[in-house]
Amino acid sequence: MIGPTGAVKVMVATKPVDFRKGAEGLAALVRETMGADPFSGAVYVFRAKRADRIKLIFWDGTGVCLYAKRLEDGEFRWPKVHDGMMRLTAAQLSALLEGLDWRRVHEARRTRVPAQAG
């Protein structure tokens, strides 16, 4: 999967969903439970009851993309909140997809552009 850039909005549904749902069913959940537009270009992340499965949907400008992953060993780290949604950075999403603890990933501090010499 080509990873999202730092500018992409990543929204995580914190409540497990029925994993029989495909792209259309998950897009409906984005509208109904998150109150968001599934065609906005944001990445929407869902997990199954079993914490070793994850699905993402996003609009790439030409269609809705569905990405699914099952970890062969271990579980995805997930927020303890039982309802609602939360936001991740692109770096945190990359860590989540690798099965790493995304909570340990933090944005680098913004630095000023150096002044020109001379």
Judge contact between 17 and 23, C-beta under 8 A.
Answer: no
* Residue 11 dihedral angles phi and psi, to the nearest 5°: -115, 130
Mean pLDDT of the chain: 84
In the numeric block, the tokens 């749902």 are attached to: 21
Single pTM value for the model: 0.78
Q: Which residue has the tokens 């993309």?
A: 65
Q: 15-47, pLDDT tens digit by residue?
A: 889 999 999 999 999 999 899 999 999 999 999
